[in-house]
Amino acid sequence: MSKDRKVFSHKPIPAVVLFWGDLILFICSNFIIWWLQIGTFDGRRGSSYLVALMVGILVFTFLAFSENIYSDRVFRRRLTSIYAIIKVTILTFGVLLFFAFLFKVTATYSRLWAVGWASLLLLSVIVFRLIFAKWLNHLRAHGELAMNAVVVGDPSLALGLCDRLCSEAKNELNIIGFLGLAGDFTDERNRSKMYLGNLERLDQLILEQDIKAVFMAFPEHQTARANEISRYISQRAVGLFYMPENLMPFASEMRFEKFGDRPFVQIAEAPLENWKGRAKRGLDLCLSPIALVILSPVFLLTAVAIKIESRGPILFVQDRYGLKGELIPVFKFRSMYHAAQDRDANTQTVQNDDRVTQVGKFIRRTSIDELPQLFNVLNGSMSLVGPRPHATKTKANGKLFPIVVEQYASRHRVKPGVTGWAQVNGWRGETDTEEKILKRVEFDLYYINNWSIYLDLFILVKTLYVVLFEKENSY
């Protein structure tokens, strides 16, 4: 395998196909039984059945994501996937029955229709998953699901592992090559087409080649080095795998994954991959346009106020760290005098900062200055919820953030957010002490490791409360 091998950048998304397939079957099975049992659609009578359908879709979606039925580990295993969808379907109709009793509307609906809908849906989703499993096998056989990966480690072991993975797992992995540490490779090895350079190139490769997985290959006597490199790699937005011969150096919980016929230990997992990332993006695309429409009068009034008070552009655009550490332009309403703007954030804003305009003080205190980041959400560089993006030169106690916090780079494993878990728990505003950035990163990492759609919704609701009633550190 050489560096010239094709890098897959556009792959089918099985989880998305599975989710939309389930929804279509959910709706179609409802209308098929309606047509067979009740006949042509009656607007007056049919409205009750449409309400049942809409509530059913919401309940089904909620339970499906709660049970993680669209995660790789579920939908890639046929029997597990079938069991999961049967469980969710039965629970959905159980909840609908509970609602019908609660609101005393059971007499409104045909029992035969309800039983027929549930039965047809169960049958159709099971058949769909059997067909889906065959489609997955077809994609695997043609390498369409192969993820881009690199190997890191000892020269001879890394090259050998590359060769084995290329031959044994060619339908699952697209091995780009291997990385090493400075001084590890001889001139002959450096001429190998598989050699990609030193470990410091990993971040560049993650961005350019869309690397999804890193495999480590070290001999047993290099335990310390393996530990050190695993800590470094696990802060990146990639999955990290290690050969199972050396389990003892790693005390954290591990999972086995097979690539070809070879088992690997998964030390770290890329957060918000596949179905999770799609679900989060879907939430962003649903809520951000609604927020923009509702807040459009606020945008207009703020823009006029800024323009009247001081010269300069309405928006302030600043480069900040985004997903995988890539620099992204972040939009804000300008809150400082134009000549006093600090694009690299060499000096943080403090209370009674004379660089801030009168309008700026108000919009910073009410967080209105952050609202243009909804456009960042729409273009995909940010999310509604996530770790807040920081400027390139932001410091705590005179030290750059990555120097203060060893795990700082772990924040870049997900997209930054307009609001975040740290902000709604009191860690927003100026980070003038090392403790403040340490606590902020601690809360950010908790969010990354415990993400769910419901946590995002909770943070969004709590953000409204914080903005309206908690003004501490907002200046």
Predicted confidence (pLDDT) per residue in 264-292, tens digit: 666 666 777 667 787 888 889 889 999 99
Judge if 354 and 336 occupy the same domain: yes
pLDDT at 158: 79
Query: Would residue 255 count as lying in a domain?
Result: yes
Query: Would residue 101 count as lying in a domain?
Result: yes
What is the rounded CA–CA span in Å between residue 71 and residue 398?
Answer: 43
Query: Would residue 180 count as lying in a domain?
Result: yes
Judge if 349 and 421 occupy the same domain: yes
Q: Is the pTM of this model over 0.85?
A: no
Burial 102-115 (b: 16+ CB within 10 A, else e): eeeeeeebeeebbe
From 216, 237, 268, give the residue that closes a domain.
Answer: 268
Helix (H) or strand (E) holding 308, with range, is helix 296-309
Q: Is the pLDDT of residue 366 over 80?
A: yes
Query: Would residue 326 count as lying in a domain?
Result: yes
Query: Would residue 7 count as lying in a domain?
Result: no
Average pLDDT, the chain: 80
| Mean of pLDDT values over 312-340 | 86
Q: Which of 178, 154, 156 is nearest to 166 (CA)?
A: 178
Judge if 286 and 257 occupy the same domain: no
Give residue 57's pLDDT band: very low, low, confident or very high (50, 70, 90).
very high
Write the pLDDT tens digit of every residue in 246-256: 443 443 445 65
| Mean of pLDDT values over 335-360 | 74
Q: Which of 419, 427, 431 is nearest to 456 (CA)?
A: 419
pLDDT at 1: 39
pLDDT at 117: 92
Residue type, 474: S
Judge if 364 and 449 occupy the same domain: yes
Angle between helices 14-37 and 111-141 (to 10 degrees): 150
pLDDT at 401: 77
pLDDT at 382: 93
Judge if 452 and 307 occupy the same domain: yes
Judge if 95 and 153 occupy the same domain: no
Write the pLDDT tens digit of every residue in 124-161: 999 999 998 888 888 777 767 788 888 888 777 777 78
pLDDT at 172: 78
Domains in the chain: how many in total?
3
From 92, 118, 141, give the residue that closes a domain.
Answer: 141
pLDDT at 3: 38
From 141, 162, 193, give the residue that closes a domain.
Answer: 141
Judge if 97 and 230 occupy the same domain: no
Report whether 210 contacts 270 (CB < 8 A).
no
Write the pLDDT tens digit of every residue in 96-112: 998 888 888 888 888 88
* Pairing state between β 417-419 and 383-385: parallel
Give residue 434's pLDDT band: very low, low, confident or very high (50, 70, 90).
confident
Judge if 412 and 289 occupy the same domain: yes
Half-sphere exposure (CA, 13 Å, Cβ side) for 43?
A: 0
Query: Would residue 328 count as lying in a domain?
Result: yes
What is the rounded CA–CA span in Å between residue 428 and residue 417?
Answer: 13
Judge if 460 and 312 occupy the same domain: yes
Q: Is the pLDDT of residue 176 over 70?
A: yes
> What CATH number did the domain enclosing 173 receive?
3.40.50.720
Judge if 281 and 243 occupy the same domain: no
Judge if 253 and 334 occupy the same domain: no
Choose between 46 and 95: higher pLDDT.
95
| Domain, as residue range, for 234 | 147-268
Angle between helices 275-294 and 14-37 (to 10 degrees): 70
Query: Would residue 9 count as lying in a domain?
Result: no
Q: Is 269 in a helix, a strand, or coil?
A: coil
Judge if 118 and 231 occupy the same domain: no
- Indicate the DSSP class of residue 381: S
